[in-house]
Chains A and B, each alone.
Chain A
Amino acid sequence: MGKSLVVTSGKGGVGKTTVVANVGTGLAMKGLKVVLVDTDIGLRNLDLLLGLENRIVYNIIDVVEGRCDITQALVKDKRFSNLYLLPAAQTREKEAISTDQMKAIVDELKKIFDFVLIDSPAGIEHGFKTAIWGADEAIVVTTPEVSAVRDADRVIGLLEANGLKDPSLIANRVRFDMVKNGEMLSVEDLLEILSIDLLGIIPEDENLIISVNKGEPIILGADKYKSGLAFNLIVKKLLGEEVSWNELEKTENFIEKVFKFLRG
């Protein structure tokens, strides 16, 4: 029996889908059977981040409404045969799937896969409730901005009220240089304010934009990019390994120095 994890944030645009695409790919790179479930009905994007947008035949609503089997709707990844996507419907509304229907789908997937990663829509309405319904554990993504942190706090409260105790936090778009100058909330600040455990830190990285442009998760080039390295650490931590985040800051400094040197 596999484990289901929902990735959520409250605020939009903080990197939920990026986290799902990269952590999912990373787990698959370790040889695990992984399925990524896009629950953002009407605003699907996970397919784009994985470069699978042209391979979708059926979607999650087709499964719910009985037009296909769950296995027929799964889209196999281009690179890893043990990684699959269950796409959202693009032309329907969030209400097209109920909490119980979602739970049934996730339970079914847990029988086939080691990890079921659920990408939640932004907001705290029906779509969010549906996304968290079938999850065993929750991951909250935030950025070090007051608005994102406030929304994360609200989501943490709602997760706990719905039986998802002790969610863990991924701090995205961290700029260590700004933290050092006291112009950005540090990861320690975020953990203190939200009273939550840390799952990972992802530094701000322009290479992520390029990876999304190409539809290739950045973790594929983990050693070359600081955000790729960060996702690698998150995957390790998810699998129960001890990780040190100092490594990340050091790598960032090193990469930045090399770039500065090259620019002259």
Chain B
Amino acid sequence: MLLNSFWGKRTSSKDIAKERLQLVLVYDRAQIDPSTVDLLKEDLVKTVSKYLAFDPANIKVELSQENNTSILRIDVPFKTKS
């Protein structure tokens, strides 16, 4: 506790448990392995790269749960010209 406040961070172990559970249950309920999503991500990067210029490091592919439905979210941010 003291150490946590010292570092200015107070994430309780309960919050960690809840976050981990919610994440793992999204995959459990959809019956998909996290590794499958990783493979999908790799393929997506390859495919999208053929047509568009974007930063592969920022591509996000993740499962989430909304109103009892599993949703696959794919975020492909374009490269910002600087």
Contact = CB atoms under 8 A, between A and B. Distances in A.
Interface in B2-36: 12-15, 17-18, 20-22, 24-25, 28-29
Interface in B21-59: 21-22, 24-25, 28-29
Contacts of A193: 18, 21-22, 25
Given A146-B17, A146-B20, A189-B18, A153 B12 contact: no
Interface string A136-162: 000000000010011001100100000
A68 to B, nearest CB: 42
Contact of B21 (A146, A186, A195): A146
B25 A183 contact: no
Contacts of A195: 68
Given A193-B18, A195-B68, A182 B13 contact: yes
A246 interface: no
B14 A186 contact: yes
A181 B21 CA distance: 19
A184 interface: yes
Range class of the B interface residue count = 10 to 19
Contact of B13 (A150, A154, A183, A186): A183
A198 interface: no
Nearest to A147: B21
- Interface size of A as a range: 10 to 19
A69 B16 CA distance: 53
A220 interface: no
Nearest to A157: B29
A33 B10 CA distance: 52
Contact of A181 (B12, B24, B25): B12
A196 interface: no
A174 B82 CA distance: 55
Contacts of A189: 14, 18
A185 interface: yes
Contacts of B68: 195
A153 B22 contact: no
Closest 6 interchain pairs by CB?
A182-B12, A182-B14, A146-B17, A183-B13, A153-B25, A146-B21
22 contacts: A146-B17, A146-B20, A146-B21, A150-B24, A153-B28, A153-B29, A154-B28, A157-B29, A182-B12, A182-B13, A183-B12, A183-B13, A183-B14, A184-B14, A185-B14, A185-B18, A185-B21, A189-B14, A193-B18, A193-B21, A193-B22, A195-B68
Given A146-B20, A193-B21, 11 more contacts: A150-B25, A153-B28, A153-B29, A154-B28, A157-B29, A181-B12, A182-B14, A182-B15, A183-B12, A184-B14, A185-B17
Interface of A: 146, 149-150, 153-154, 157, 179, 181-186, 189, 193, 195
